[in-house]
Amino acid sequence: MDITHLKPEQVWKHFYALTQIPRPSEKEEKIRAFLADFGKKLGLETIVDPVGNVIISKPATPGMENRKGIILQAHMDMVPQKNKDTVHDFEKDPIVPRIEGDWLYATGTTLGADNGLGVAAAMAVLEANDLVHGPIEALFTTEEETGMTGARELQPGVLKGDILLNMDSEDEGELYVGCAGGEDGSFTLAFDMEQTPAGWEGARLNITGLKGGHSGMDIILGRGNANKVLVRLLHHLMETHQIRLASAEGGDLRNAIPREADAIIAYESAKKAQIEEAVAAMAKVIQDELKFVDPDLKVNLLPTEVPAQIIPDQTARKIVRAVYAAPNGVWAMSDSMPGLVETSSNLAIFKAKEGKAEVHCLLRSMVDTAKTDMGTALACCFANIGAKSSFSGAYPGWQPNMESPILQAMLKTYKEMYGKDAEVKAIHAGLECGILGGHYPHWDMISFGPTIRSPHSPDERCLIPTVQKFWDLLVETLKNAPVKQ
């Protein structure tokens, strides 16, 4: 569907172009080349740094040379998630947008509004010849969704501006001044497999229909985690009917709440009817618990070939118990900002097959010591079964500065434009501001954007009218940038 007729056209035409260019995280060669070519065709200074960030600089318009330089920042990659029945190759196929009322979706996949609309807005500013602004630098970072690589590896001294406008927030009318830090936790255990007893049957336990979502933004909603649902069912069946586990697998991205999971089980043929009844009964219990947040949860027990090998019984029980007990979801709420999650864990990936079990979690917190505490709890949980623990990719949070000059300027501008106050917030997600501020401590930073819902899932959607308000605020903010001292 052509969406270039939407308002503001100067933003939507660039976003549509982005939907046609594959840009999954860590496969960003095409979008990187596209952005670099875009800057060069405009005759603007364009560089691609050693890690793959694209930086495009635009001089101030006449009379605005005395304003503080502004960095427009967005990340070029998108989360590649699709529904199981959707045929889509994120490295080759374009995103197919569709409009439903005031919302823009993709068809069976993530939309890429996170953070494609930020990229598109920066491109519109670079291309425009009718805007008033001081010196502009557009920073398009790489691999944000898989570890914030571009932000981490950005070199000090490359950018000259004083103000960073991060355009990666997801609620119009809200200005973000702080974010959570994060860290990856991985837990692994090796084991031997054994032969499945003769005469047994096999089945596939399948979890589908969960909403999933962004592991920071949506963790407060209490949605079901497919890995947790799966191990709850497995534990029940192990305890009541002595089923055996051949393999289990759920989730594929650390920063997405897992929506689907599968296990291959084996059992004595005589217990088939009892196991089917037990699965149906437990599924009903879990569906009732999640009916308000995940009404489409489905649990199926499907016939399959008998697995040749299974995990030793005591080993499988230990793995399932550890995953069952592992912290997941909201760990603590913020005392300083009511309603904000302070600390959380997303048990994102679970695999147990072919002699190896692994669990991968994404830990988030506004408080570094709380993040460490939660990581220690996870490590202790898995140490009890002899699993190895490792932590990597830690990045700092961004501490709010309520006296920020750009915050005060944007609050004033928003009030003048819309007759109401913008909300000032912090976010339980990993914005790049915390890392970038470490490289450029003098930067005055704000994050804002249009309204986006369910990022990192195929339900991702953008509220179309808010893109115009986001663009108008950006234009007025550039026009009213503070004067250099």
In angstroms, rounded to a whole number, what is the distance separating the alpha carbons of residues 362 and 330? 12
- Each domain of the chain, given as residue ranges in start order, spans 9-180+397-479, 183-395
Give me the phi and psi of 230, to 5 degrees please: -60, -50
State the sign of the Cα–Cα–Cα–Cα dihedral 417, 429, 257, 281: negative
CA 361 to chain CA centroid, nearest Å? 13
Evaluate if pTM is beyond 0.85. Answer: no
Q: Which of 77, 168, 260, 444 is catalytic?
A: 77
**Residue 144 annotated as catalytic:** yes
Q: Which of 28, 137, 144, 172 is catalytic?
A: 144
| Closest by CA position to 363, among listed 210, 226, 187 | 187
State the sign of the Cα–Cα–Cα–Cα dihedral 290, 293, 294, 296: positive
Is the domain spanning 9-180+397-479 CATH 2.60.40.420? The answer is: no
Mean pLDDT along residues 168-179: 94
**Residue bearing tokens 């994120």:** 90
In angstroms, rounded to a whole number, what is the distance separating the alpha carbons of residues 274 and 278? 6
User: Which amino acid is it at 425?
Assistant: K
Element (H, E) at 95: none
Mean pLDDT along residues 368-395: 95
Partners of 208 in the β-ladder: 298
Give me the phi and psi of 65, to 5 degrees please: -65, -20
CATH architecture, range 183-395: 2-Layer Sandwich (3.30)
440-454 pLDDT, tens digit each: 999 999 999 999 999
| Closest by CA position to 258, among listed 345, 180, 339, 331 | 345
Partners of 71 in the β-ladder: 137, 164
- The SS3 of residue 241 is helix
80-132 pLDDT, tens digit each: 999 989 999 999 999 999 999 999 999 999 999 999 999 999 999 999 999 99
Mean pLDDT along residues 291-307: 97
CB 324 within 8 A of CB 219: no
**Residue bearing tokens 């920042």:** 73
pLDDT band at 429 (very low <50, low <70, confident <90, very high): confident
313-340 pLDDT, tens digit each: 999 999 999 999 999 999 999 887 788 9
Task: Quote the pLDDT of residue 147.
Answer: 83
Mean pLDDT along residues 276-294: 98
Burial of 70 (0-12, 13-18, 19+ CB in 10 A): buried
176-206 pLDDT, tens digit each: 998 899 999 999 999 999 999 999 999 999 9
Beta strands 70-75 and 136-141, pairing class: parallel
